[in-house]
């Protein structure tokens, strides 16, 4: 155990080890040392507390002089003697100053499996509705702040948006609170629970009615972007989610086997999903292949990356057809038609729904090939609706 009087000249001359680090103890203050590695010379204070050694980093040599580091180490050792967990206290102090912006970044870093689309959604919600909170320390965001902002968002946009913003904020605050070791106060969104302020919003049940599909399809076909046209029709014919289709790459498409694969990292339940192509779906893929621009089935503007969203296309189709719908309505429309054509087991498999506690469903192993005929039946019914003009039935008078 090397002991030296730690002065600037002595520390400057300490050799750098080939590997690991070497500790040099100060002869003037017990428990004060410097540890030398290949990258830095760092001051530490060490004290055994409750039978366990506590190492507390003081700072690096350079920004800290030996005298300044020794004074800081003396304060630290005094706190350790009193039983204070200095490292925990330092961690808590750091978290107390964490702003919402920093907490969001930390939350995303800690969840590498979180989809990029989810991150974008969270960030857009918070940037739009909580911009004045971004540089504010989390501990300064009060329950009253949360309650007032929740009501304000509902009045300016909708109850759904208000709930989504605060649920997102709640998740980020909970994560920061967990790593703060108790430094942050209770999550302020709990006020919404205790005062019953959360809005009761039922699950959206909207879809495109079967007799509306002709007008919807005609409006889609008149849209200016052929990539968006094919994407919208494919969403209707497969029941897939928007990002599952827009991020589809050609390496996930088997034109010979007439199947395509939704990757596990894209699928909502993180389970790979292989679907067969009906004849109309195959035609869409074949047309896209003839116009292939890059690795994505649905390329972005100028052939760069993939098409990011279909918002403009949806707005244009709504204006043209006068049928109000959102992207997820296409999945609900597919499901509504499919349940009239195929069994429940086939429907769950087509939608890639998790069987959960359904023991019987867990024993059903339905292959991709077994889905081909059910998928074709669903497509036939949808395509028939898009080609057939809906008219009122013939009126037959009662007999006298």
Tell me what pLDDT residue 345 has: 85
Residues 6+ apart with CB under 8 A from 126: 100, 104, 133, 134, 165, 168, 169
CB of 294 within 8 A of CB of 377? no
CA distance 46 to 26: 11
Residue-wise DSSP of 294-344: SSBSSB-GGG-SB----HHHHHHHHHHH-----HHHHHHHHHHHHTTTS-H
Burial class (CB in 10 A: 0-12, 13-18, 19+), 60: middle
- Say if residues 297 and 282 touch (Cβ distance below 8 Å): no
> Given this model, what pLDDT does residue 360 score?
47
pLDDT at 378: 95
Contact between 175 and 294 (Cβ < 8 Å): no
Q: How many CA atoms lie within 13 A of 161 on its CB side?
A: 16
CA distance 120 to 131: 15
Which class in CATH covers the domain with range 100-194? mainly alpha
Q: Which two tokens stand for residue 256?
A: 């010979």
Q: Do residues 260 and 359 touch, judged by C-beta distance below 8 A?
A: no
Helix runs in the chain, H state only: 8-12, 66-81, 86-96, 100-110, 116-129, 143-156, 159-179, 190-194, 213-221, 226-238, 242-246, 279-290, 311-321, 327-338, 344-351, 359-363, 372-387
269's tokens = 């339940």
Q: Per-domain residue ranges for the chain?
A: 2-84, 100-194, 210-387
This prediction has a pTM of: 0.58
Q: Are 279 and 376 in contact (CB under 8 A)?
A: yes
The second-level CATH assignment, the architecture, of 210-387 is Orthogonal Bundle (1.10)
- The per-residue pLDDT for 245 is 94
Contact 154/107 with Cβ under 8 angstroms? no
Which is nearest to 238 in space by CA: 371, 360, 61?
371
d(CA 8, CA 66): 6
Write down the pLDDT at residue 289.
95
CA atoms within 13 A on the CB side of 322: 0
Dihedral, 45, 47, 49, 55 alpha carbons, nearest 10: 40
User: How many Cβ atoms are within 10 Å of 243's Cβ, its own excluded?
Assistant: 20
Residue 277, pLDDT score: 95
CB-based contact 49:61 (threshold 8 Å): no
pLDDT in tens, the chain (400 residues): 688 889 999 999 999 898 889 999 999 899 999 999 999 999 999 888 777 888 888 999 999 999 999 999 998 888 887 777 777 767 666 666 789 999 999 999 988 888 787 888 899 999 999 999 999 999 899 999 999 999 999 999 889 899 999 999 999 999 988 877 667 888 999 999 999 999 987 666 689 999 999 999 999 999 999 999 999 999 999 999 999 999 999 999 999 999 999 998 888 878 889 999 999 999 999 999 999 999 999 999 888 899 999 999 999 999 999 999 999 999 999 999 999 998 888 888 898 876 555 544 454 567 889 999 999 999 999 999 988 443 434 444 444 4
Task: Decide if 43 contacts 20 (C-beta within 8 A).
Answer: no
Beta strands at 273-276 and 259-262: parallel, antiparallel or unpaired: antiparallel
Cα gap 232→313, rounded to integer Å:
8
Specify whether the CB–CB gap between 317 and 216 falls below 8 A.
Answer: yes
**C-alpha dihedral (99, 100, 103, 105), degrees to nearest 10:** -110
Task: Out of 1.10.287.980, 3.90.1720.10, 3.30.160.390, 3.50.50.60, select the CATH number for domain 2-84.
Answer: 3.30.160.390
SS3 130: coil
């Amino acid at each position: 155990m090397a002991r030296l009087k730690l002065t600037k000249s002595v520390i400057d001359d300490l050799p750098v080890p080939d590997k690991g680090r070497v500790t040099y103890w100060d002869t003037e203050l017990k428990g004060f040392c410097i540890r030398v590695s290949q990258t830095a010379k760092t001051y530490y204070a060490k004290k055994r507390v409750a039978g366990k050694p506590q190492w507390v980093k003081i700072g690096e040599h350079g920004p800290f002089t030996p005298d300044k580091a020794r004074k800081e180490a003396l304060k630290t050792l005094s706190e350790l003697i009193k039983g204070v967990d200095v490292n925990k206290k330092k961690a808590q102090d750091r978290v107390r100053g964490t702003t919402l912006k920093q907490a969001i970044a930390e939350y995303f870093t800690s969840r590498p499996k979180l989809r990029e689309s989810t991150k974008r959604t969270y960030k857009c919600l918070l940037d739009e509705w909580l911009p004045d909170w971004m540089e504010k320390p989390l501990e300064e965001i009060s329950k009253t702040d949360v309650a007032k902002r929740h009501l304000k968002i509902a009045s300016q946009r909708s109850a759904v948006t208000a709930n989504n913003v605060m649920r997102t904020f709640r998740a980020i605050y909970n994560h920061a609170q967990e790593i703060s070791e108790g430094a942050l106060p209770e999550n302020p969104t709990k006020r919404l629970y205790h005062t019953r302020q959360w809005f009761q919003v039922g699950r959206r049940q909207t879809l495109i009615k079967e007799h509306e599909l002709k007008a919807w399809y005609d409006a889609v076909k008149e849209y200016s972007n052929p990539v968006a046209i094919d994407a919208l029709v494919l969403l209707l014919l497969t029941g897939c989610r928007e990002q599952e289709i827009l991020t589809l790459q050609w390496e996930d498409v088997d034109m010979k086997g007439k199947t395509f694969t939704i990757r596990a990292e894209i699928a909502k339940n993180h389970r790979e999903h292989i679907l067969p192509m009906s004849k109309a779906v195959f035609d869409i893929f074949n047309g896209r292949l003839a116009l292939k621009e890059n690795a994505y089935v649905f390329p972005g503007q100028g052939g760069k990356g993939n098409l990011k969203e279909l918002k403009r296309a949806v707005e244009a189709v709504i204006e043209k057809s006068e049928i109000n719908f959102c992207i997820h309505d296409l999945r609900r429309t597919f499901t509504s038609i499919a349940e009239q054509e195929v069994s429940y087991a086939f429907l769950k498999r087509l939608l890639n729904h998790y069987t959960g506690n359904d023991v019987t469903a867990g024993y059903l192993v339905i292959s991709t090939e077994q889905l081909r005929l059910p998928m074709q039946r669903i497509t036939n019914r949808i395509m028939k609706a898009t080609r057939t003009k809906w008219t009122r039935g013939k009126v037959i008078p009662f007999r006298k």
